[in-house]
Amino acid sequence: MKRLFSILAITGLMAFGTANATTIATTTTTTATTVATQDDTPAAAAAESESFHQELKKRFIEGDPAFMGIVLLCLILGLAIAIERIIFLNLSTTNTKKLTQAVEDALSSGGVEAAKEVCRNTKGPVASIFYQGLDRTDEGLESVEKAVVSYGGVQMGQLEKNVSWISLFIALAPMLGFMGTVIGMIQAFDKIEAAGDMQPSLVAGGIKVALLTTVFGLIVAIILQIFYNYIIAKIDSIVNDMEDASITLMDLLIRSKK
């Protein structure tokens, strides 16, 4: 029995020693591989980034810079207008509930002048509509309502300013791409006609131009369409707030007259 325990103990020690040695060797190998990989990672990333830019530049040149440049100009102008509209709309967004409560408190405590002062110190179309309505309270509720409706239309026009240009670029970019497609196919058939033979190498260049201009035009249209939909949704939200606030203002003035 003692011999059996001795054999088992020796076997366990040998197995533990072998496993430990294997673990150390594996850890050393893994560490060396990791270090080597980390050393190669910046070079690989730089090569990948460089190849992406080179590939993009290559495709842009292959797609006929005359058409690709026009489509790129549509993207730049469309994005510039979209970013300007997004900034303007975000600055025009007002906490309507907070403003309404402040105007109501000012009307009950300081009258119309105090409420107008609150609107003066608040940015956004809702505050401007409130101010125009409060400025005509002496002329009666009908005049207030007309002023609110009229100035609401003015504010809506300011919110929608230049948005039509984005929709123009959305329609123009794929149309220019399709025009490049047609011209590329015409060039391919011209080469076939001049050579008098149907060779793939003659057609490949024209078809490549056609496909690249189409793809680039569609990409530009998709990007601008996303921004356009966001802007339209933002405008609709602000307009709904303006309409609700106008109704609330009329209710406040009716209650204050009683």
pLDDT of residue 23: 41
* pLDDT tens for each residue of 138-182: 777 888 888 888 888 888 888 999 999 999 999 999 888 888 777
pLDDT of residue 31: 44
**1, 215, 249: which is closest to 102 by C-alpha?**
249
pLDDT of residue 62: 60
Q: How far apart are CA 179 and CA 170, in angstroms?
A: 15
Q: Does residue 117 contact residue 106 with C-beta atoms inside 8 Å?
A: yes
| DSSP, res 160 | T
pLDDT of residue 19: 42
What percent of the chain is modeled with pLDDT above 90?
18
Q: How far apart are CA 63 and CA 59, in angstroms?
A: 6
* pLDDT tens for each residue of 82-99: 999 999 999 888 888 888
Is residue 75 over pLDDT 70? yes
* pLDDT tens for each residue of 97-125: 888 888 888 888 878 888 888 888 888 88
Q: Does residue 77 contact residue 226 with C-beta atoms inside 8 Å?
A: no
* pLDDT tens for each residue of 193-222: 777 666 666 666 667 767 788 888 899 999
Query: CB under 8 Å to 167, separation ≥6 — which residues?
Result: 228
- 3-state DSSP assignment of residue 159: helix
What's the pTM? Answer: 0.70
